[in-house]
Amino acid sequence: MDLEIQQRVKDMAEKYGPENVIVILGSSEAEAAGLAAETVSNGDPTYAGPLAGISLGLAVYHILEPEVKAEIDPTVYDNEVGMMEMVLDVEEISKEVSSIREQFSNI
Amino acid sequence: MVKEIERAGLPVVHICTIVPISLTVGANRIVPAVAIPHPLGNPALSKEEEKSVRRNLVLKALKALQTPVDDQTVFE
Amino acid sequence: MPYRVVHYINQFFGQVGGEDKADTQPFIKEGVVGPGMALKGALGQDAVIVATVICGDGYFNENLETAKAEVLSMVERYSPDIFIAGPAFNAGRYGVACGAICKEVKEKLGIPVITGMYPENPGVDLYKKDAYVVKTSDSAAGMRKAVPLMANLAIKLLKGEAIGSPDEDSYIERGIRKNVFKNELGAKRAVDMLVAKLSGAEFTTEYPMPAFDRVTPNPPIKDMSNAKVALVTSGGIVPKGNPDKIESSSASKYGRYSIAGVEALTADTYETAHGGYDPVYANADPNRVLPVDVMRELEKEGVIGKLYDYYYATVGNGTSVANAMKYAQAIAKDLIADGVQAVILTST
């Protein structure tokens, strides 16, 4: 996850309290999604950014996950995400992110 | 890439900054460049001076292409 | 008393910045920084990272002798028992820096040195004999696998334990021959291997043939004033907007672009797609990476016969060796078919 974004997530968690922050990812493939998810929940696994060694335990989801889709107006979702939903590996990405969430998110 | 172009039969000169890497990948004619983000330039100089530096490097490269070599050679 | 470790990392893992900070001069911090945290955990109680040296990859590679001396004097001050650099994964300049500084520390301080790289990193071939290079994956995503391997090897070296084969201790083979005693006679082992090979069974060679792949230099151009010369670059210079969407890293393609009638590249018409160096200078003046302006002048002056109407570009950032070979083979074929006689290839 981009170093600047790591810093912003860290700042937001400090400002609002980690229990009040949810991260929703849009990565287009499972490995990147998993790394980003792990970064905001268990710490940057590449140890390159501000979240290195810092476990925020944030709740993290991916926009393609069914529980997120269910919260969004279907027309809006279709307009904004519909195309990517067709071409990306929804199952693989969802599996990756939800597994990280189960392991590291404090929810 | 340099090696494959050479292998296909074309004389090729590699202008690059990190000479050890060029040697490792098998370039036969090597011209050391100025710096990684600007191999044929130098933003610290005026435009004219920079162009002159660039011209010298290219001329060196052309000279290398006209020089017979038996083995990997760095043209300083 | 735990062993003392000094760790070396680049500006990115050192939390200084990205490519824009690649010119960072070396400095030292007490304790751990970035991946040092993981290394610390993996080393456990046996060793402590007393200090971390951070240095920009660009600065190191562009100032090899001074940088090595500067870093060495910093390392020396902390009297380490072992020196660990990286891991650099597939980052070329980082790998070269790690290897070079490991070699320097080993030679000047006489302590064991370890680093970690992806086998295709150019730092491997250059320095595998000088430092133990633990085999890693090609990106920082492999940090968590790489660090424990490096730590384990470090502890072994510190305790003076015997180091196993490259496979056993996860390092890249060094090309160093060690005499060992085997239980069975060489002749028997050879025959057993032959029988296995003939019957299609698996076998492991005791001596893998090294892959020396050098190409004989082609003869020089005799008459440059009549020669057709082509420009090729791995520096990622592409028409503005990167129409072919060449990736900034691990390029899956190359581009062929017409420069017929182009006198010089400009910031409005061209840009760099390469993600492995600070793009500011190349974007401001792409001729700094692909010297079309000078080549055009030389063509007008008759120094060269003709500048080929097309140039080829790809991004040489973490591009796999196999792909680079493929692209170059195809490019060379085109060039030869079009009567090009020589090539200038620029890299960053």
Is residue C90 domain-shared with residue C229, that is, in the same domain?
no
Q: Which of B11, B22, B40 sits opposite C342 (nearest CB)?
A: B11
Tell me: pLDDT of B49 over 90.
yes
Q: Residue B68: its chain C contacts at CB < 8 A?
A: 217, 219-220
Tell me the nearest-neighbour CA distance from C97 into chain A, angstroms: 18
CA A25 to chain centre: 4
* Residue C208, pLDDT score: 67
* pLDDT for residue B69: 94
- Cα separation, C246 vs B47, in Å, equals 29
Nearby residues of C110 by Cβ (< 8 Å), 6 or more positions away: none
Whether C291 and C270 have beta carbons less than 8 Å apart is answered as no
* C329: chain B residues, CB-CB within 8 Å: 4, 8
**Residue C123's CATH number:** 3.40.50.2000
Residues in C touching B24 (Cβ below 8 Å): 122, 125-126
Beta-strand pair C255-258/C306-313? antiparallel
Mean pLDDT confidence for C9-31: 94
Residue type, C158: L
Q: For residue C122, how many other CB atoms are within 10 A of its CB?
A: 22
Q: Could you tell me if A7 lies within 8 Å of chain C, comparing CB atoms?
A: no
Domain boundary among C154, C169, C184: C169
CB C138 within 8 A of CB C155: no
Which residues, in sequence order, are bridge partners of residue C310?
C258
What is the predicted pLDDT for the residue at A89?
Answer: 94
pTM of the model: 0.74
Q: C223 to chain A nearest CA, in Å?
A: 51
Alpha carbon distance A8, A6 (integer Å): 5
Residue C283 lies in a domain: yes
Q: What is the per-residue pLDDT for C149?
A: 96
* DSSP 3-state of C231: strand
Query: Which chain A residues contact residue C144 at CB under 8 A?
Result: 45
Our CA-based measurement puts residue A2 at a distance from the nearest CA of chain C, in whole angstroms, of 10
Q: Which of A35, A38, A47, A100 to mutate to test the interface with C (most CBs of C within 10 A)?
A: A47
- Do B and A make contact via 3 or more CB pairs under 8 A? The reply is no
Average pLDDT, chain C: 92
Range of the domain at B49: 2-74
- End residue of a domain, out of C128, C151, C169: C169
Q: At a CB cut-off of 8 Å and minimum separation 6, what does A11 contact?
A: none
Distance CA C260, CA C263 (A): 9
**Distance set, CA C73 to CA C70, C95, C309 (Å):** 5, 21, 51
Domain total in chain C: 2
Residue B8 has pLDDT above 80, yes or no: yes
Same domain, C120 and C26: yes
Distance of alpha carbon C225 from alpha carbon C47, whole angstroms: 64
Which residues on chain C are in Cβ contact (under 8 Å) with A28? none
pLDDT computed for residue C200 by the predictor: 86
Structure confidence at residue C71 as a pLDDT band (50, 70, 90)? very high
pLDDT confidence bin for C323, thresholds 50/70/90 = confident
Question: pLDDT (tens digit, 9 = 90+) per residue, A2-37?
Answer: 888 999 999 999 999 999 999 999 999 999 999 999
Q: Which of C136, C169, C202 is the last residue of a domain?
A: C169
Could you tell me the residue range of the domain that residue C266 belongs to? 224-346
For the cut 90, the answer to whether the pLDDT of residue C276 exceeds it is no
pLDDT in tens, C167-225: 888 899 887 777 777 788 888 888 888 888 888 888 888 776 656 678 999 999 999 99
Hey, is the C-beta of A50 within 8 angstroms of any chain C C-beta? Answer: yes
| pLDDT of C259 above 90 | yes
DSSP string, C148-201: HHHHHHHHHHHHTPPP--HHHHTB-----------SS-HHHHHHHHHHHHHTT-
The pLDDT of residue B9 is 94
Q: Residue C273 in contact with residue C254, Cβ under 8 Å?
A: no
Which pLDDT does position C318 carry in this prediction? 75
CB proximity list for B23: less than 8 A, separation 6 or greater: B30, B72, B74
- The CA distance from A80 to the nearest CA of chain C, in Å, is 23
CA distance C191 to chain B (A): 37
Residue C205 included in any domain: no
C263: contact with B, CB 8 A cutoff: no
Q: For residues C312 and C259, is the Cβ–Cβ distance under 8 A?
A: no
CA–CA dist C273, C257 (Å, integer): 14
Give mean pLDDT, residues C47-70: 96
Task: Answer yes or no: do C153 and C255 share one domain.
Answer: no
**What pLDDT does residue A94 have?**
96
Is the pLDDT at C246 greater than 70? The verdict is: yes
What's the number of domains chain B is made of?
A: 1
N-term to C-term CA, chain C: 46
Identify whether residues C16 and C103 lie together within a single domain. Answer: yes
Q: How far is CA B16 from CA A42, A89, C94, C233, C265, in A?
A: 41, 40, 16, 10, 19
Q: Element (H or E) spanning B64, and its range?
A: helix B47-65
Domain co-membership, C21 together with C92: yes
Same domain, C23 and C96: yes
Mean pLDDT, range B15-22, rounded to an integer:
89
Contacts of C278 in chain B (CB under 8 A): 37
Strand partners, B41: none
